[in-house]
Amino acid sequence: MAKLEDIEGIIAHKIVERLELTDVDPDSISPEASLFESVKGDGGNLGLDSIDGLELIVLIYEEWDIKVSANDMPRLTTIKRTADYIRERSADAEK
């Protein structure tokens, strides 16, 4: 299970690796970068599609043992929001 420190950096690196985004430097991805094509953010846009979104769900499960429900998926719009979601769910699991 991946640690929760610098979770934004871990997410960026894992997304680039898993989705084989060879033209993207994970260290240059802003935490506010929009993950999906239809979402506007302040830090750019990675342009992920719905299949990539499924890969993100699998990544979160494999790295942090968190199951993302269909209702929660719309919350995962940026690296930062995804990191906040993981922190929140990890804290809930510890209770």
| pTM (two decimals) | 0.83
Topology of the domain comprising 7-78: 1.10.1200
Q: How far is CA 88 from CA 11, 12, 52, 66, 92, in A?
A: 15, 18, 22, 10, 6
- What's the pLDDT score for residue 6? 82
Can you tell me the distance from the alpha carbon of 80 to that of 18, in angstroms, rounded to the nearest whole number? 18
Tens digits of residue pLDDT in 30-89: 899 889 875 554 456 788 888 999 999 999 999 999 999 989 999 999 999 999 999 999
15-26: average pLDDT: 91
- What's the pLDDT score for residue 63? 92
In the predicted structure, residue 2 carries a pLDDT above the cut 60: no
Domain residue spans of the chain:
7-78
